[in-house]
Structure 1
């Protein structure tokens, strides 16, 4: 991630951009409020905002208050730091997003290895040899493994991500190759194959592509179908990127978040709440519900990165110094 000096902290052209900064920071604070509300709706049976207001449920005012605090926090930030440079804030947002993605990579590493080991012991009937009767019985149920095995490992992943930057999508790609190689050897050399082996590859594949999307956006690595863009001036490119980010990028992310997490029965919330497993049942890994959560991680990290991208684009449109030249950007 790009690191800026103290000189880059202050707006270099002396003109604040309050509207753009409000749009960006309000998107992030409202996102945070939405995620808290989603926990209240999914796990504590609070009404959705629309149903709560129509039915008069008093609990809805907790959600309204959270959104009000979110908007107020973004306004306070903008007016308390009016001279912040757009590139400086973009860098800080990208660095935070990088931590989130790094934590997710560590989480899927730990969860994948642990759940694969548990699934192997479960399939081969070895749980009773290593665990007490009650624990072995719990390890047969996704509702036990999810909160008592997976959740602590996810938390561990984010703690490790605070101190280490060694794991990323390159390492996860290598682990996927190793897992595929293990399947080939076990199938054709030892004639042994279990559903859990394919589950692990799909689990890591999904994480690889969905988690790496935000980093790819940061590095301008997504394919750009270019007819006119390459010949435009930097300021014009900035305007195009800014409008595209708002109208296409941020809008798409919010659509995924609202549709996927809008209620308890939504396509992301429902599998997570029920700790949904694959059709393989006890023969496979109990990580299908997390693969639904990957869609939320994708939309959230992309939205955060789009805010950073928006700030960079507006800085380009204003011809501010510090433009990053992505020479390796893909085009078609």
Structure 2
């Protein structure tokens, strides 16, 4: 199989779909690897590094798309890239289709086989291809929030951990999954006053046992949510429904209960965001104000730490890429139902139920694609 990767086009997105080490594994397995020139510069991997492992470096993304049987990316393709996809070509990347009807429509029209990292599962019911980026994003959310709290960035001028004699910042984390857990680790480590809200009693018990006195847990009902948001200096939106649009937990009216200069960090922005007032931002212009509340809604947060993120991502995406390349996507999915969960678009049809519901489109069972 011919596998290609291209330079990412999103603003300040420095990750890359394949590291030189991953390219080497594919080449050793007997496949041809195409790399757009400069694709790895953001992680410190120049064209020579890819050439040294047997990959072929080509000048343009157009050539990669024209020749490759499978495109391995990080972020969803932009409109120009979507126009280059062809029938039967495999796209393997983060897609986040639920809040993006334009992308969904283009992928359906292309006839491509579109596999979304964020819906591939594992035997425990987890999302292993999403986990490493959720770990990075959760930790970065606290860094970003702490910076946004600084006065010159529009924040309250509050130090996250406080100092002796001055109380630390109050941090409310909405969601106790991978993002929330990692955010809580960072915030608690810096000495913040941390509260984690979740609707799962099992998750709350697990978090309480782990953090003991370093973080508080609360059941996420309307009263507790409203109180925690009103008291917080920093709110982290860390709620995920696999494949579906994020629930809007914080309304605009709730902003009026918060202190001016408090900060919202919406880690769920790829799935539409969990604050009513959220809209996607970029690393070049990461924040905006609504009713005096600072919003940080960067849609590719892990791209700022591209080397760490790329290697963490490739650790989990490469085994599936090898399986698809070695067996073909149909046989790979027939023998791995967890990979089949990643199929979002095939033959012009949506095959992931949560995506179909979010877009108001019919859903074709993914199993139909295999026969």
Q: TM-score, normalised by structure 1?
A: 0.31
More strand by share: 2
Higher RCO structure, 1 or 2 (CA under 8 Å, sep 6+): 1
Bigger Rg, which one? 1
Q: Taking structure 2 as the reference length, what is the TM-score of the superposition?
A: 0.29
